[in-house]
Structures are given as C-alpha cells and as structure tokens.
Amino acid sequence: METIDRAHLAAQTFGDADLAAELLGLFADQCRRILPRLADPALPAQDRADLAHTLKGSAASVGASHVRDLSSAAETALRGGGDGAAAVADLEPVVAACLAEIG
C-alpha cells in the first residue's frame, strides 16, 4: 500500500523529481524528530499539540494523507485536554510505513 500520494507530490513539486526527493527526505527527518517527542507524556500537552500540528502540515505537503489525518486527531485530542496516547499509538505504524516507503 502506498502511503504517499505521488500524484499530489508531483503536483506540489511541479514534476521536479529532485525536489520531490528532497521534500520526502525532509519529511522523513521531521517524522523521526517529531514522533518520539509527540509520544513523550512528560512534554506539556500544548507542546505536543504543536508538534502534531507541524507534522500534519508536513504530511499534507507531501501527500501523506493518513499521517495528516492521524496527526490532526492527535492535535485535537491534545488541545482538548486528552493525553493523545491513542492517536499517537495509531500514528506510529503509519509513520513507520511512510518511512519504509521513502527509504
């Protein structure tokens, strides 16, 4: 199953394969940096919600719609006073699948 909408990514990068590869690399790096912090219950909920918001925007830009949707759910849960643990748990395997697809 593809986790990245390649048509969306091509439209965002005007068909520039090098730019698409660069964006995917940046997205992968961001996933690797953000996800552990997002899952850290010691970090204040507002900070974690901000991280989820950042990941949501990055995912949207590369066409990773499932990551976008789950990041949005995490952000909503955290901003609503929840701990976001279930949303983050749902997000982790989807991010892993994206990272595997990106390579």
Q: How confident is the model at residue 62 (pLDDT cuts 50, 70, 90)?
A: very high
- How confident is the model at residue 39, as a pLDDT? 95
What is the length of the chain?
Answer: 103
Measured distance between the N- and C-terminal CA atoms of the chain, rounded to whole angstroms: 14
C-alpha distances in angstroms, 32 versus 46, 79, 87, 99?
20, 22, 17, 9
Nearest to 70 by CA among 48, 51, 92: 92
Per-residue pLDDT averaged across 9-20, rounded? 96
pTM: 0.93
pLDDT higher than threshold 90 for residue 53: yes
